Amino acid sequence: MGEVEVDAESERAARLLAAEVTAMELFAEVERRGLIAAGRRDRQISDEIRDLAGSMFGVQKYWHKRIVRSGPHTLQPYKENPPDRVIEADDIVFADFGPIFDGWEADFGRTFVIGDDPVKHRLNADLATIFAAGQQHFLERPDITGEQLFAHVQRLVADAGWEIGIPHTGHTLGEFPHERIEGDKVTYYITPGSDQPLRRADAAGHACHWILELHLVDREHGFGGFYEQLLDLQHQPS
């Protein structure tokens, strides 16, 4: 790879990381303002986060639908569209947003626990722990495929006592709009059947970058949690 190509790939990685850092700042402001609280509606919170992203960072577009789900609706996968709901005391909520910052996609999700339910708090803690373990497994294996990483994350989730609530644990991400993932594009997911190395070039010849996406569910207790951010690019300690 020539020097120009290396510089271009470094710039792409830096832009993706910058987009994610901005998404982190947005979510930190959501927490600081206490937008996610009992008595508020999911759709109301989604709209307020949208407006906050616009006022703080000039965000006008999202590359996927905005999601705020609470209570039993946290069991439902991305493709579903559950009705609006009022958040209750001792509830669980997750938010999944795909804002576009200066033409670059972020895909960032976190879970929030309202109250003191120990099972909900354990799930929320396990999301971050399993993400870190899955990312470390990826970093230690240069030739790992999507289906191999999925299998490892599935074992981590089962060992913690949860289930995976969707048929994959991640996907590619890039400059908007990145290649649409449809039909036979299974190799752009971290999922069974994705048998190509994750470290490879995409159709445009750029290095693939990946999101690790965790939707964990506890069907017995009737709730789930969500956590996602970049898999292959890491933030430098501040």
Number of domains in the chain: 1
Name which of 151, 124, 127, 125 is nearest 137 in CA terms: 151
Q: Is residue 45 part of a domain?
A: yes
Question: In 3D, which of 224, 226, 230 has the Cα closest to residue 212?
Answer: 230
Q: Containing domain of residue 56, as a range?
A: 3-230
pLDDT for residue 39 is more than 60:
yes
Residue range 13-42: average pLDDT? 93
pLDDT at 235: 72
Interval 70-124: pLDDT, tens: 999 999 998 899 999 999 999 999 998 877 888 778 888 999 999 999 999 999 9
Examine residue 69 and state whether it is found in any structural domain, yes or no: yes
DSSP string, 94-148: EEEE-BEETTEE--EEEEEE-S--HHHHHHHHHHHHHHHHHHHHHHT-TT-BHHH
CATH of the domain at 27: 3.90.230.10
Residue 238's pLDDT band (boundaries 50, 70, 90)? very low
231 in Cβ contact with 170 (< 8 Å): yes
Is 90 exceeded by the pLDDT of residue 176? Answer: no
Q: Is residue 235 one of the residues assigned to a domain?
A: no
Q: Is residue 157 predicted with pLDDT exceeding 50?
A: yes
Q: Is 12 left (phi over 0), alpha (psi -120 to 50) or beta?
A: alpha
pLDDT in tens, 195-212: 999 999 988 888 999 999
